[in-house]
């Protein structure tokens, strides 16, 4: 049994979910296979209508689901409202775009007649994380469903409640629960035709290996150690600094595309640090996610808290200075709270710099030349997101083109820089495949071709046996 506690009050149980055995996973996949036949047979307009009705049903429970999400994840209530609202906006965007993106393409000319269709895979397995469970599930479920696939969803045991309620409103979706065993049973199932995963690199390697062993194609959105590159001419207002602070500390820093390394020119480091600390004092209020005015809650678990505390302690042992940020709201002893810090003076080889922190501790690093900046920003095996900040947009775009990341923000970072139309995903060890945009929709279809070469149509000249096409 999965027993999920409230990370802000870890003695409070938010809910329970039964763990799905391999046999239960098998049964869920087979139900999805049966559901897919009828679902895929529906005209596209009918599938879109059913999905719009499901979205409306979820929206009617928006407030209730946001409270549930806040209690299980530790994210502040306004953030949870925002996540669910954005997820529903994305779902409606997919429904709007689907008739155009999924339309078959047909050419009938002197070369012959060619029809390219968009075909669903069948059953798609979706494995999603705890840090943004609703949006990260709907990024997979909605494009998969609108294309005519059925889905089996396995949410993280650390935040299974709200997303299960959302999934229950959608057609042709099964939900299973559990950890690695349930994941292996799902990804390795012979009737699963595509796998979509968002999470950490270690789990991603295991899932990709299992999917590869079945020759099942996959989408992998993995972690990032995302640098923010401040060019010497950067300009930031007070609201700009506030936005930057939240780009690192929203969801207690537990976001794959958060700003995790801040690189500033040595000549402006003192100015930057002072403005950053002042902005953090204005916008960072740490406390119970349901309390009024709180902008940062706890981390997700005791293990996460211990890992972040150890990273900061290691940085201090190497000569770094941890500057406390924001203010506490209420009693923080009852939950997995971590004081947010900006760490200065830490060497580049410290784990706090080299590894994805995934928590409320961010290093401030100084550089002397732009070539040095670029080399340090591109160091490492992760390449999910990054940002470049400059008063000159052309200069920022030129630098962005040299940064090894799948998504580079300009003069912003994290979710304020996202767009429904912009495909998102990583390079290097940060994964493959894309979400959002047309590319995110096309991940869940395959091309199916019908072709009548001109030579073999009525009146055609034919060709010699074994001839190559002209």
80 carries an active-site annotation: no
The question of whether 443 is a catalytic residue gets the answer no
Backbone angles phi, psi at 177, to 5 degrees: -130, 150
Catalytic residue among 221, 242, 356, 443: 221
Task: Please name which of 57, 79, 58 lies closest in space to residue 70, comparing C-alpha atoms.
Answer: 79
Q: Which residue has the tokens 């139309």?
A: 421
Spatial distance between the Cα atoms of 169 and 55, rounded to a whole number of angstroms: 8
d(CA 105, CA 116): 5
181-220 exposure pattern, b = at least 16 Cβ within 10 A, e = fewer: ebbbbbbbbeebbbbbbbbebebbeebbebbeeeebebbb
Q: Which residues contact 458 (CB under 8 A, 6 or more apart)?
A: none
DSSP tag of 218: E
**Nearest C-alpha neighbor of 73 from the set 82, 384, 261:** 82
* HSE-up (13 A, CA, CB side) for residue 271: 13
Across the strands, what pairs with 387? 228, 409
Phi-psi region of 76 (alpha: psi -120 to 50; beta: other; left: phi over 0): beta
Q: Which of 80, 95, 256, 435 is catalytic?
A: 256
CA atoms of 58 and 18, how far apart (whole Å): 23
Region for residue 338 given its phi and psi (left: phi exceeds 0; alpha: psi -120 to 50; beta: otherwise): beta
Residues 453 and 447 sit within 8 Å (Cβ to Cβ): no
**Cα–Cα dist 44/124, whole Å:** 18
Determine the 3-state secondary structure of 34 from DSSP. Answer: helix
Q: Is 252 left (phi over 0), alpha (psi -120 to 50) or beta?
A: left
- Residue tagged 């709201």 (tokens): 329
Task: For residues 2 and 366, give the distance between their C-alpha atoms in angstroms, rounded to a whole number.
Answer: 45
- The enclosing H or E element of 366 equals strand 361-367
φ, ψ for residue 283, nearest 5 deg: -110, -15
Contact between 365 and 269 under an 8 Å Cβ cutoff? The reply is no
**Residues tagged active-site:** 221, 256
């Amino acid at each position: 049994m999965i027993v999920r506690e409230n990370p802000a009050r870890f003695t409070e149980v938010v809910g329970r979910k039964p763990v799905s055995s391999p046999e239960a996973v098998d049964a869920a996949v087979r139900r999805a296979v049966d559901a897919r036949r009828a679902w895929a047979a529906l005209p596209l307009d009918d599938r879109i209508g059913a999905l719009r009705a499901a979205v409306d049903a979820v929206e009617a429970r928006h407030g209730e689901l946001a409270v549930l999400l806040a209690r299980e994840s530790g994210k502040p209530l306004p953030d949870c409202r925002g996540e669910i609202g954005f997820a529903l906006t994305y779902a409606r965007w997919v429904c709007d775009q689907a008739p155009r993106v999924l339309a078959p393409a047909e050419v009938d000319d002197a070369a012959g007649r060619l029809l390219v269709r968009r075909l669903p895979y069948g059953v798609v397995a979706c494995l999603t994380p705890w840090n943004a469970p609703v949006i990260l599930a709907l990024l997979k479920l909605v494009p998969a469903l609108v294309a005519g696939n059925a889905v089996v969803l396995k949410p993280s045991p650390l935040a299974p409640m709200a997303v299960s309620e959302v999934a229950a409103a959608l057609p042709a979706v099964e939900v299973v629960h559990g950890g690695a065993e349930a994941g292996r049973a799902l990804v390795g199932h012979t009737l699963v035709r595509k796998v979509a995963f968002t999470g950490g690199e270690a789990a991603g390697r295991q899932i990709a290996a299992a999917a590869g062993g079945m020759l099942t194609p996959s989408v992998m959105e993995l972690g990032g150690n995302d640098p923010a590159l401040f060019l010497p001419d950067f300009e930031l207002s007070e609201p700009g600094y506030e936005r930057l602070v939240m780009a690192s500390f929203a969801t207690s820093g537990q976001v794959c595309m958060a700003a995790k390394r801040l690189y500033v020119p040595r000549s402006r480091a003192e100015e930057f640090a002072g403005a950053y600390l002042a902005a953090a004092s204005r916008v960072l209020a740490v406390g119970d996610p349901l309390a009024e005015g709180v902008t940062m809650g706890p981390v997700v678990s005791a293990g996460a808290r211990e890992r972040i505390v150890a990273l900061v302690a290691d940085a201090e042992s190497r000569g770094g200075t941890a500057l406390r940020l924001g203010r506490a709201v209420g009693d923080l002893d009852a939950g997995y709270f971590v004081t947010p810090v900006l760490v200065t003076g830490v060497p580049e080889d410290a784990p706090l710099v080299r590894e994805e922190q995934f928590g409320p501790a961010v290093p401030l690093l100084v550089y002397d030349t732009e070539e040095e900046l670029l080399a340090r920003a591109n160091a490492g095996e992760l390449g999910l997101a990054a940002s470049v900040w400059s008063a000159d947009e052309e200069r920022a775009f030129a630098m962005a083109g040299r940064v090894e990341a799948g998504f580079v923000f300009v003069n912003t970072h994290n979710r304020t820089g996202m767009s429904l139309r912009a495909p998102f995903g990583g390079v290097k060890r940060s994964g493959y495949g894309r979400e959002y945009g047309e590319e995110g929709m096309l991940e869940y279809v395959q091309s199916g071709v019908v072709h009548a070469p001109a030579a073999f149509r009525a009146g055609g000249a034919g060709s010699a046996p074994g001839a190559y096409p002209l």
